[in-house]
Chain A
Amino acid sequence: MTQLNAANTPAAGAHPDTPAAAQVTVTGLTVDGPAGVVVKPFDFSIAPGETLALIGESGSGKTLSAKAIAGLLPAGFTARGTIELASATIELPATDAVWRATRGRRISLLLQDPFTSLSPVHRCGTQIAMTIQAASATRLSKAECTELVTQRLAEVNLPAEVARAYPHELSGGMRQRVAIAAALATDPELLIADEPTTALDASNQGEILDLLRGLQEKRGMAALLISHDLGMVRGRAEHVLVMRHGEIVERGVTSSVLNAPSHPYTRALIEADPSLTDRSAGVVRAASGAGAGGDAATGVGDLVVATDVTKSFGDKTVLHGVSVTVGRGETVGIVGESGSGKTTIARCIAGLEHESSGVIAFHGVALAPGRASRTPKQMQIVFQDPYSSLNPMISVGRSLKLALRVAGRPASDLNGLLQLVELPLEFARKRPAELSGGQRQRVAIARALAVQPELLICDESVSALDVSVQKQILDLLAKLRVELGLSILFISHDLAVVRQLADRVYVLRHGDVVESGLCHDVLTAPTHPYTQALVAASIHEAPTH
């Protein structure tokens, strides 16, 4: 194979062993797609040891820009521009031979999802060792490799035993540490991190970002941090670029951009950012307080009372006696990380899982476990992923008419239903594929509301959406609860999102309710150490006002 030899061309051999001490400069970076320019030309430079954040929502072109710099654009896309590194200058589009000498040694790319970015059938140590070997000029012995792998693991605060583990044996945070060790094993001059913490739980996110920051400062390595999350960038990047529709709309020093944004889009992003401050939450809660939300406070009656619900899958117990109450017209949040049991309790209430023990009562009448004992009018559920919860083969109108028929309502109610979720009437003819994520989630909500349920269960219903869309959907839910007097059970891993909508909140951890109470009290003065840690983790990422 010629590729192996080509990697040792003189250009590659010139790579210095010491960390680079010059800045990374990219000029005129442009990405062309099959239908014309996707990313318009832009320049940036990053000083050694510093971080530049590239912020944008999905579809803004930020990931394509990252892939262009790493030479990993998908077929059909080409890049133009110049990348100047300490050891080489790369003119885009570059040949395969140039990229072989560049990728890993000079520029490395860390991907979003540690669950898929490591090969599941290779041991973690092997995957790190491969990278070390690929960048080494000489053939390393087994003992040398083991030694180097242990060093790399120690750098990311992992014990040497992790080398023997397969990725599925590690937690998400540990996997991302292994991926960081693998990405940095070649000592690149520039690390591109594409949403490196989006797939992780809140308490892991801060740790991973701070680890990256430390490693980067130690090596004098430049970093390009790609993110959709403005809050995450504060305190972790010197400069920030805001990209929208393939164009840089704002750039500058991070703190000045966040505190005094000049472009309306940046302002909108900051407004939409679900922070723990009262500023954005106030809008929604003011609306809800005027209507049905008021009833809940006066205690008209409980709609759903789940008492001591336990659930085991095989010999694994995921719920250890969880009690949750949703009052009439009340919005209740359940917060927890993945594996906390928050989705399981919601599914038990909806009858999609059979609880092992405990009582779930609706209007004071106990319901037998399972779907059969429940009617559609009692409760409906809106799932996380609007891309998979709608049938792609039938039009929006037909989906909704089917739901109306179940409720025994005439098909002519369709227009009213679309208006309710603020969708144009002509959307009835469209198929899910023609809709954006936010529009699809509106359709999913409309479908759930077609039967006029008393309780709406939202299982991570906004987590798959961009922040600005998230805010629109949350506003819609707030409006609906006022207009229809809905009770909402809102499941989320995201404290800030729950804060915007919920009257009361339960914090779930390992199948136990560790804390519950009025949303405002729990999130501003948490008493349980776990809640305190969660709140601290999300405040750290949120912009302060």
Chain B
Amino acid sequence: MLKSLIKVRLYSLWKSFLQIGGNKKYVKILMAALMLYAFGAMFFTSGMMYYQLCGALVSSGLLWLYFALAGLSAFCICLLGSVMAADSQLFEAKDNELLLSMPIRAKDVLISRMCVLLTLNYFFILLIALPAGVVYAMQFTVSVAGAAIFIVAFAVLPFLVLPISCFFGWLIALASSKARLRNMFILLFYLLLLGFYFIGYTRINTYIAKIIANGVPLAAAIKKALPPFYLIGNAIADKNPLSLLFYILCAAIPCVLVVALISKNYYKIMMTSKRTAEVKYVEKDVRALSAFSALTKKEIVFFLSRPMYIMNAGIGLIMMMVLVIAAAIKGESILSTMGVPEGLPLGFGTAVCVGVCFCATMVMISAPSVSLEGKCIWIPKSIPVKAEIILRSKIASHIAISLPFVIVSGIICTIAFGGSIAEIATYFLLPLSSIVFGAVFGVVINMKFPKFDWINETVAIKQSASVLITMAGSFGFVITPLILLLYLGIKLSDMTNILLLLFCAVLFIVSYALYALLKKNADEKFTAL
């Protein structure tokens, strides 16, 4: 029974990856290539980080610290990546009640679901920890015993993560008894995640330098405070089987205890009523809206009700604010943090505005909006409203959600950096034109590559062909020409802002042309979805 359950779980995980490309073969190939590129880039980035650390730590006689840090990084990424999965797989799975009504042991249901978490964690380990081994092997001789211990140590790591991700998953499930609290909890969790990511990403070089400079005290601190990671490092560096054994025990004992504890209480956890508190209905005065306004409002309410949608499709808006505020506070020193070469004949405000525009291309609110109708697609199809208006409402909601961020970023740039009329116009118009283009382009692409057979909205928001193509398209149509224009602007000296404003005009025209294309035979295309 357990074997069948595990097979079904892993098959569904595999299917969710396969779903990315939809049913068209060429899209599948394109998506596979894009994903391979993304994974390769992550592998390479991790490798570069380890490359800086490896030689320095080995020469300081702190090889064990190198592997301990690899273990610690992999542990953190696995934990952050699997907490939400722990909630959805263990405590919120839609088929839990069905499975628990069958003559299947709760422990088997639980273990089969934990296998999905372990598989996800192995995937993260391949991207984060494996590069550490590869980098070391490229620089030093590796013995068979050392390689074997490395493989065993990292094969055991997901079991160390599992109890903690289960605990946090359970906390989220507990918070889900109140729907509003759940959304806030998830949003907060993602914001924290994003904050950690930003801090880590922007200061990675500083951290590496600090690790190298303070290797000895850091090693002592890790040895004292985080013994499992000292044991990982020691087991691999010194090929110490005893350390490996203790480390395996550190991972296995909490894991077994957590499995036993949850499986014993699994029925109770599942059967606890998750009904939200009832709201008493009081008849209120309502304002009648036009069909377009009602549809736009519906899109905005939907966006705001889904933390996953906000964090994935609206991440560009959050980044936009972070960038502008950081630039206003920190001034030009932020350019070196971002890796922008010094000495550009470009106003600082304009440089920040280009960064804001880059963030705007990451706003993907409209790109999955048609797919997200899912099983409710019968509603827009059956109402007496032209498809053109339905699609326009999706574009409008993308713009309406983004507009306050564009305006605030423009105001901050104006106050903080000032500049000529052309520069101030650029602060507002460049991000706005990018937002408008992304809104229209997203719906056009989603009409071409809709996906309604998702079980979880995350598939449409994060893994659909429409979102990936829109992202790549926005990058190609906005960022690439922008870089070329900046280069040209630099050559022409004072012309940069004029060229950027001309580029805005081109983006608005292209957006209108795309909208005209979308309107053409919209009813027939929408009915055919």
A and B interact:
no
**Which chain A residues have a beta carbon within 8 Å of chain B's beta carbons?**
none
